[in-house]
């Protein structure tokens, strides 16, 4: 391998490391975006969300099983993911878990009432 090839490989490795760090940072920030981050999510309809930032930022996020996921921020344009999209996905996961929990408890209550 000549010097030019080694340099190219080095740059590629540095770029991959930078991307990996950025993706890890996005995932970390998404976890607290709606709590400590002061962001809010408004559901336009199922699959389409407005993410509102504490400084008046506004992002349109698509998180859907049929349409491709999307956010109109700069990070998404570069990395095809972002803290807004991931925060919405975490919120939806939590809501689904809460719904499962409620369904489970409703069934248990029905069972209890059915005995009387
Ligand atoms: Zn975004």
List pLDDT tens digits, range 38-86: 999 999 999 999 999 999 999 999 999 888 999 999 999 999 999 999 9
Q: Which of 50, 55, 56, 54 is nearest to 72 (CA)?
A: 50
CA of residue 75 to ligand 1 center, whole Å = 6
CA of residue 25 to ligand 1 center, whole Å = 13
CA of residue 52 to ligand 1 center, whole Å = 11
Q: What pTM does this model have? A: 0.81
The pLDDT of residue 108: 55
Instruction: Return the bridge partners of 59, or none.
Output: 51
Burial class of residue 92 (count of CB atoms within 10 Å of its CB; 0-12, 13-18, 19+)? middle
Q: How would residue 112 be classed by pLDDT, with cut points 50, 70 and 90?
A: low
**Ion ligand 1: residues, CB < 5 A:** 59, 71, 73, 76, 82, 84
The pLDDT of residue 113: 53
Residue 7 backbone dihedrals phi, psi, to 5 degrees: -65, -45
**What's the rounded Cα separation, in Å, for the pair 21 and 25?**
6
């Amino acid at each position: 391998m000549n010097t030019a090839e080694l340099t190219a490989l080095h740059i590629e490795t540095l770029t991959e490391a930078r991307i990996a760090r950025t993706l890890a940072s996005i995932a970390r920030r998404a976890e607290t975006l709606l709590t400590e981050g002061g962001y809010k999510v408004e559901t336009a309809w199922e699959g389409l969300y407005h993410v509102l930032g504490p400084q008046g930022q506004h992002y349109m996020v698509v998180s859907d099983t049929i349409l491709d996921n999307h956010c109109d921020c700069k990070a998404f344009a570069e990395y095809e993911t972002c803290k807004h999209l991931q925060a919405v996905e975490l919120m939806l996961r939590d809501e689904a878990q809460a719904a499962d929990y409620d369904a489970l408890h409703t069934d248990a209550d029905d069972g209890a009432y059915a005995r009387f």
